[in-house]
Amino acid sequence: MVKKDTEDILAKSKKNQIWLDQNQYTRNGILRYEKIFGQTYIGPGGEDSTDRFTSKLNLEHGQKVLDIGCGIGGAAFFMANKYSVNVYGMDLSSNMISIANEYRSKMSAAVQHRVQFHVEDATLMEYPENFYDVIYSRDTILHIDDKLSLFKKIMKSLKPGGKLMISDYCHGDKEHSASFKKYVAGRGYALQTVTQYGDILKKAGLKKVVASDISDYMIEILKKELNEFCEMRSSFIREFSKEDFDYIYRGWREKLDRVQQGDQVWGFFTAQK
């Protein structure tokens, strides 16, 4: 029975990976998103939000950082360059890691030495105990149903006094629109309110948990990205297609509407072991 359960878990993980690589994060899809987020980035705010968030961590030379859901490497490269920390980046999407490693191969020898990227399932990978100074994750854990089990692993893997920093999609504490429910179901997201998310972190044994709603910042980011994207319309269509442009534009408009209506919320969480 244990063997079958393990096989089922591994099969589900592989199925999720295939879905990501063939749907939301095809290579072409990633490169489209990168145009709006900025080179090496695949998440809201790109380098600006990465700089804002990591500046709160007081990172020090030589520290070990785990980046869960590293995407195509933007935050890992940024932290390695600016703070000289060692970053282990992992992502379930093999397309993401492939592109991240392409960028890594073009970096300086110092950055290549400090940064590694691997295809991993955060719910199944090995977590060394008392190892990481910082665990960092951007808009990734929304995919995971059993957040409590993951956070328990994270807590054990942090050194005493180690820090956790997460941004993640959440949902508002309200009756949600039919379109939002359809969107969440279609993406397979497992969303919580900001308060619920923070409570799960506390239940996992993490201390000094701060759970914040930073949706106003997301609205600011989305408007800026949308304006800049419209300015590159001609060059984007030449590189990709009008259909690709329309897809991205429509997606950003819809996301902006969801956040402004309070259906979708951007949560920001810090904690310590």
CA separation for the pair 94, 71 (Å, rounded): 10
Residues paired with 210 in a beta bridge: 270
Mean pLDDT of the chain: 94
Reported as a single tens digit per residue, the pLDDT across 119-166 is 999 999 999 999 999 999 999 999 999 999 999 999 999 999 999 999
Q: Quick check: 254 pLDDT over 90?
A: yes
End-to-end CA distance of the chain: 35
Closest CA to 262 of 199, 167, 177: 177
Strands 264-272 and 207-213 turn out to be: antiparallel
The one-letter amino acid code at 220 reads E
CB 198 within 8 A of CB 141: no
Domain boundaries in the chain? 2-272
Q: Quick check: 2 pLDDT over 50?
A: no
Phi (first) and psi of residue 155, to 5 degrees: -60, -45
May I ask the CATH architecture of the domain 2-272?
Answer: 3-Layer(aba) Sandwich (3.40)
CA separation for the pair 96, 26 (Å, rounded): 9
Q: Strand, helix or coil at 235?
A: helix
